[in-house]
Amino acid sequence: MPFYFITKWTLVVQGIVAIKLFLISGRLFSAWDAKKREIDLLVKRNKDEFRPDTFEVYMQAPCGRLVVREALRDLDMRGEYKTLIKLQKPLLERLRNNCTSSNTVIFINEESA
């Protein structure tokens, strides 16, 4: 049953939710090129020899684990994910590391400035 049969105001709510979802999907698709570069980098590093240490950084976040799964699929090594999941740090340690402030330092090349 369509929402507008209930009341016309549900169309407004449905429209707001749809706009929000379109904005989120736009942000996800805008990050696709960066994720593709990360997948290509992992594939190049592990093409000749499987090196689990190259995947450790990506195993700490859900989106990174998706990158790992895609890279393993491209390498035809899907079974190695079970060994890589051991590289994932415990949840409390990940939260502690991600919730600390860090200083950003920008280095300027004097020759090109």
> What are the domain boundaries of the chain?
1-30, 31-98
Question: Is residue 65 a contact partner of residue 34, using CB atoms and an 8 Å limit?
Answer: no
Q: HEC string of 21-40?
A: HHHHHHHHHHCHHHHHHHHH
Q: What is the pLDDT of residue 112?
A: 53
CB 69 within 8 A of CB 79: no
Single pTM value for the model? 0.61
Query: What radius of gyration do the chain's Cα atoms show?
Result: 21
pLDDT digits (tens, 9 = 90+) for 53-111: 999 989 888 888 889 999 999 999 999 999 999 988 888 887 787 777 767 777 777 66
Q: What is the pLDDT of residues 1-55, one digit of tens each?
A: 676 677 778 888 888 999 999 998 888 788 888 889 999 999 999 999 999 999 9
